[in-house]
Structure 1
Amino acid sequence: MYYIAVFDGNKDSSQSTNLLLNTILHELTFEYSIDTYCYEEELIQVIRENPAFYDIVFVDVPPDNTAPISLCRDLNALHMTARIVLISSVADYVFDGYDIGALNYLIKPIDRSKLKRLLYADYQSNCLSRKILVPVGAGHIQLSPDYIVFLEVINKTVRVRYEKDEEFLKSTLSSIKEYFEPFYFLQCHRSYLINPKFIKQIMRTSLIMTNGDTVPISKYRYKELINRFHDYLQPPRSRSSDSQSKNP
């Protein structure tokens, strides 16, 4: 599933963008979902609760109104993982786009072929490629780590918990743990491996995930979990800068 958000304070304009997106995505035969926001706080609240909720966010920037640019900075400050695409009828905010790390800058009227190429490339790079094959019984199964909230081992079965669904694999946590390490999954308990993108609250003995589930924290893993979660939240650029400052 390809999760898309459109922010546009103008209802008529947002409907036009949505229509174009729906038409193109239907042609590409992607499974997708589009949510539209007219008020900044509504989108901020969704991202605050789950920074990984969307794959891509389109933000419309009207002439002489930099509020949407500030919105993008607020979303980045919440560690939103979605790519940002700016849309505007003027080219005045191109450098702001660079500043916020926007994936692209589209000038109205939106070039249909350019948008189609953008969507196809983004989907291929960030949705299809981020899949792994993990051993299950005598074979393997394909999983998408970005959408997994946590893994829980129950006897010789691994429960794969998504935001609104789950599946069960005949495997053990120790046999599949290494496949999730590149995606920064954290072990908070001997029976759990969690995706830090979906952490909503950390308490002394448990975690509350964005889907409402509660996951236990082992007292022996609490300190390590906190340290690794801080590392996860630190922007990659900052980690690089710290490394350089320590090794002049």
Structure 2
Amino acid sequence: MYRVAVCENNRHERKNIDKLCNEILSESGFPFRVTSFCGADELLCVLEENPFAFDLLILDIRMEPLSGMELARRLRAEGNRVSIIFATGYEEYLREGYDVQPIQYLLKPITKEALHKAINVDLQLNHIPKAISLSYGNKSVFLETDQIIYLESQNHNVYIWMKDEVRSFRMSLRQAQEYLPDSQFCRCHNSFIVNMAWIRHLSHSEILLKTGQTLPVGRSYYRALQSNLVRYLNRI
């Protein structure tokens, strides 16, 4: 779950950023929650109770009584490394605050394209190791690796069987495998790739998954699968 806090004292701008965040993250397929705050002091109260409440803060710089810059510096002084994107309508602020290591500065009015790029930077730097990014056309879809049970190739499509849904993509299984961390996923058949975290039992001919489902094991894949599974189990 990617948790975003939008902190902006201008009601119109706050609603716009909230709307853009919801559009961008809905299109990505990455699980998310966006929470809006009208002041930095309000957000600070939440963070004092739970410093890990959010993965990303989108902060207006000019707010009263506590500015977004002051909030960021206070968080960094306390050792909080939450990702920060600053939003400002004044170019003179673009030189400030690099000591708090923000992901990006965005000039108002914020566009969807600029915010999309900034969010993608944070996802790639800090969150994608727990997910895969599948690109097709002009879109990128993020899927949490722990939620993926297995992939199946069928009629030139790849079906990704997840804990709560099935997603389909127009690509080959070989192409899909390039996006997967080989430390966690292994080919077990010409038509299947399995997430080793979901394997309950392995035999020469089939895999019993923790869901109760079974997958076939191709004869030529068994030894590599067995070796990779032992390596995976020794690592976790």
Could you say which TM-score interval applies, normalised by the shorter chain? 0.5 to 0.7
CA contact (8 A) 2:2 2:33 kept: yes
Q: Which consecutive unaligned segments of at least 5 residues does structure 1 have?
A: 143-175, 181-248
CA 1:63–1:40 in structure 2 vs 1: closer, same or farther (change >3 Å)?
closer
Identity %: 27
- TM-score normalised by the chain length of structure 1: 0.50
CA contact (8 A) 1:54 1:81 kept: no
User: What is the CA deviation profile of residues 167-215 of structure 1, one whole-angstrom value per residue up to 9, with x for unaligned ones?
Assistant: xxxxxxxxx9x968xxxxxxxxxxxxxxxxxxxxxxxxxxxxxxxxxxx
Aligned to 1:98: 98
Is 1:118 the counterpart of 2:118 in the alignment? yes
Query: Structure 2: how far apart are the matches of 1:75 and 1:120?
Result: 23
| Paired residue type of 1:141 | A
Query: Structure 1: how far apart are the matches of 2:10 and 2:235?
Result: 44
CA 1:10–1:109 in structure 2 vs 1: closer, same or farther (change >3 Å)?
closer
User: What is the CA deviation profile of residues 47-80 of structure 1, one whole-angstrom value per residue up to 9, with x for unaligned ones?
Assistant: 2222222111000123999822111112223322
User: What is the CA deviation profile of residues 85-133 of structure 1, one whole-angstrom value per residue up to 9, with x for unaligned ones?
Assistant: 1001111212223122111100012232222122123223312214799
Aligned to 2:197: 141
Instruction: Please say which structure displays the higher CA radius of gyration.
Output: 2
Tell me the C-alpha RMSD between the 2 structures.
3.2
Give the superposition deviation at 1:11: 2.0
CA 1:63–1:15 in structure 2 vs 1: closer, same or farther (change >3 Å)?
same
More divergent stretch after superposition (126-135 vs 110-119)? 126-135
Secondary structure of the 1:141 match is helix
Query: Structure 2: how far apart are the matches of 1:3 and 1:41?
Result: 19
Aligned to 2:176: none
| Paired residue type of 1:127 | H
Q: Which consecutive unaligned segments of at least 5 residues does structure 2 have?
A: 132-144, 147-182, 185-194, 199-231
Query: Structure 2: how far apart are the matches of 1:123 and 1:75?
Result: 20
- TM-score normalised by the chain length of structure 2: 0.52
Give the superposition deviation at 1:21: 1.2
CA contact (8 A) 1:28 1:120 kept: no
CA contact (8 A) 1:51 1:78 kept: no
